[in-house]
Copies of this chain bind each other. A is one copy, B any other.
Amino acid sequence: MFEHRWVSLWIALSILLSCGNIFALDDPLPSWNEGTAKNAILQYVKETTQEKDPNYIIPEERIATFDQDGTLWVEQPLYPQFVFILDRIKALAPQHPEWQEEEPFKSILAGEAGSLFQKASMKQMSAIFSAAQTDITTEQYAEIVKAWVKTAIDPKFKKHYTDLVYQPMIEVINLFKKNGFKVYIVSGSGQDFIRTYSEEIYGIPPEQVIGTAEKTSYTYLNGKPVLMKLPQLFFTDDKRGKPEGINLVIGRRPVAAFGNSVGDQQMLEWTQAGKGKRLEMLVHHDDAVREYAYGPESKIGTFSEALMAEAKERGWIVISMKNDWKVIFRK
């Protein structure tokens, strides 16, 4: 009799455990403080994934998009891809003696790149981007980026950029993935750049990365087919380019979108304008102690007053890094 009871209990426990997280023992967002932002995320995932809920969304339609720079990892004092480009210009300089006299290359080589982002013309910026990233094959480019990512160190935190990923956002990505959402990065940075590390650091495969892209050309090198990266911008995945890029690559409207700046405004609008329950959130960099506090005046990651006003008007949730996040960086 006594033995039977234990066996029954053991069977009952086995069944319960095998059915998963019935008692919700684990908090899927442990790095988030309790509050509006955390609740909104948990509530959204709960409502949209329970079949009996009026806000239920079928798995096929569960598309969540995340901006990268400033939303998933550090973007100050310069976007990491921009640091890569400056480093690459320096590395290529010996093959280009003419750069010593030619702007904007001259300033970069003289170590005066800091102000470049503010003062360079679009044409000059495009010259740097092309010099650093094109006229090589897609595979050569990927190798160069991979090597750079392994060695480059952020000037403030003295860590690799891939260590400066926001732990609370990784938890959100994982929560979405666990609940059948397809998670995309939708970034103004280059998609060929992000795709070299997205799977390893975010768990997001290359085919779920949408970003700014150069044209490529299919050709043959030593009899082998290759794709050459051309010095020609194909697509800018920023501002209105974000919904356009989402439509180009995904062909469906996201149901949830996360950003942090004016570059994400249209992606959030586009997401919200669809039918059914939607979620739009903006990361606000208001933590000068643990990361940065920057707002309307910043040229990088601008969170304009108009964006803040639109967020309030439309019910977009602003995430305070200072108040909502227990930790900033990935442990």
- The answer to the question of A269 belonging to the interface, with a C-beta cut-off of 8 Å to chain B, is yes
**CB pairs A–B below 8 angstroms (22 shown):** A60-B199, A182-B207, A191-B251, A192-B251, A195-B251, A206-B250, A207-B249, A207-B250, A207-B251, A209-B251, A216-B244, A216-B247, A216-B248, A218-B241, A218-B243, A218-B244, A219-B240, A225-B273, A227-B243, A227-B244, A227-B270, A234-B248
CB interface residues, A 200-221, toward B, < 8 Å: 205-207, 209, 213, 215-219
Q: Is the CB of B225 within 8 A of A266?
A: yes
- The answer to the question of A138 belonging to the interface, with a C-beta cut-off of 8 Å to chain B, is yes
Within the assembled complex, what's the spacing in Å between the Cα atoms of A138 and B251? Answer: 9
Within the assembled complex, what's the spacing in Å between the Cα atoms of A219 and B270? Answer: 10
User: Which B residues are in CB contact (< 8 Å) with A247?
Assistant: 138, 216, 227
> Interface of chain A, helix or strand or loop or mixed?
mixed
Interface residues on A, range: 35 or more
Within the complex, the shortest CB–CB distance from A235 to chain B, in Å, comes to: 8
- The answer to the question of A331 belonging to the interface, with a C-beta cut-off of 8 Å to chain B, is no
Seen from chain A, the residues whose Cβ lies within 8 Å of a Cβ on chain B are: 60, 63, 138, 182, 191-192, 195, 199, 205-207, 209, 213, 215-219, 224-225, 227, 234, 240-241, 243-244, 247-252, 266, 269-270, 273
